Amino acid sequence: MARGLFRGCLESAGKIPLPAYHPVMSTPVPHAINRRDEGILIEWDTAGHEAWFPARLLRLACPCAACVDEMSGRPLLDPGSIPGDVRPISLALVGAYGLKVRWSDGHDTGIYTFQRLLASCPCDGCREGRVPPGGG
């Protein structure tokens, strides 16, 4: 795995290299991110804190201005317009704070921040409040 904060484009498949160091990190940075056709697996730490985000649910949660009204937060995306078999085609880091996903339906403008992903982590530990807010 390459070291350093800036690594250029990320791989479209397999584990994605992540920044090894950030001097003033106030948001969580995952240990690893794995893209699969069925969704995205985020490993928050090396102790086993993982989050599985199914592809369609993550696509429906896109926070971009085309999917969510910027002023009211009201959803604009019609769930019926998203194919049941939508999948992540590629992933790219956005700075050291988020993830950009290119979807099989052509959409690619949403930035999924690590803070938001961690806040919606579906693992048992997070749902039961056993995982610290920093991620693990």
For residues 11 and 73, which has the higher predicted lDDT (pLDDT)? 73
Does residue 6 form part of some domain? no
Would you say residue 133 has pLDDT above 90? no
Count Cα atoms within 13 angstroms, Cβ side, for 71: 0
Q: Has residue 3 been placed in a domain? A: no
Evaluated on CA atoms 130, 134, 135, 136, the torsion sign reads: negative
Residue 2 CB contacts under 8 Å (≥ 6 apart), including other chains: 17
Q: How confident is the model over 96-121, as pLDDT tens digits?
A: 999 999 999 999 999 999 999 999 99
Tell me if 43 is assigned to some domain: yes
pLDDT tens-digit map of 47-96:
999 999 999 999 999 999 999 999 999 999 999 999 999 999 999 999 99
Task: Answer whether residue 94 is part of any domain.
Answer: yes
- Answer yes or no: is 93 within a domain: yes
Q: What CATH number has the domain bearing residue 33? A: 3.30.2020.30
* Residue-level pLDDT at 58: 97
Is residue 5 domain-resident? no
Percentage of the chain with pLDDT > 70? 77
Q: Summarize the confidence of residues 30-54 as an average pLDDT.
A: 96
Is pLDDT at 9 greater than 50 in this prediction?
no
Tally of structural domains, the chain: 1
Range of the domain at 103: 14-127
> What per-residue string of b and e applies to 63-78 under the rule 16 or more CB within 10 Å gives b?
ebeebbeeeeeeeebe
In the predicted structure, residue 136 carries a pLDDT above the cut 50: yes
Coil, helix or strand at residue 94: strand
**Is 133 inside a domain boundary?**
no
Strand-by-strand arrangement of the 98-103 sheet: 88-94, 98-103, 111-113
Q: Quick one: pLDDT at residue 128?
A: 86
- CA–CA distance, 52 with 74 (Å, rounded to integer): 25
